[in-house]
Amino acid sequence: MSIHLTSQTAALNGGRGKTDVVLHSSGTYTLTSADSGKLLLGLTNDVVFQLPVMEEGMLFEFMVISSGRYVRINANGTDSIRLGAGTVTAAGGYMRSNARTAWVKLFGPSNGGTQWNQLNYKYGWSLDS
C-alpha cells in the first residue's frame, strides 16, 4: 500500500520541507519520472523501490522509518548505483538499509551515463556488490 501526500505535508510542517511524499508500507513501488523530487519513505514492512530507467536530472530521496525493516532500492536493467567514492552495484543491482532514519539522495547524471550517483546519505546502506 502507498499513500501520496502533497500540500498537506507542507501545511503540517509550517510550510517548510518536502511537499511531495510517498509513504510505502509493503511490496514493490515502481517509480516513474513523475516521482522525481519526491521523498520516498519505507514504513512498517520490508519495501522495494524500483528505479526507472535513468534520465538526466532525476532525483529521488529515500528514508527508512521502521528499525529492522528493509528499504531496498533496485536499479533498472543496465543501470547501477554508486555509493560514496567507489562502491558500485552490479548492473540492475540494489542498495538497502534497515537502520532507522538512514536516508539517501540519488540523482541521474548529466552525461548520459547509466549510474545513479549518491548526492548525500546517512549511515546503514549496503550494496549488492
**What CATH number is associated with residue 70?**
2.60.120
Q: Total structural domains in the chain?
A: 1
pLDDT in tens, 86-124: 788 999 999 999 998 889 999 987 666 788 988 877 878
Q: pLDDT tens, 2-40?
A: 444 444 444 444 444 555 888 777 889 999 999 999 998
Q: How far apart are CA 43 and CA 59, in angstroms?
A: 20
* Residue 40 identity: L
Predicted confidence at residue 76, as pLDDT, reads: 92
What is the span of the domain harbouring residue 94? Answer: 2-127
pLDDT of residue 73: 95
Q: What are phi and psi of 87, to 5 degrees?
A: -85, 125
Grid coordinates belonging to 24: 510505502
Residue 116 contacts residue 80 (beta carbons within 8 Å): yes
How far is Cα 85 from Cα 37, in angstroms, rounded to an integer? 23
Here the cell at position 86 is 567507489
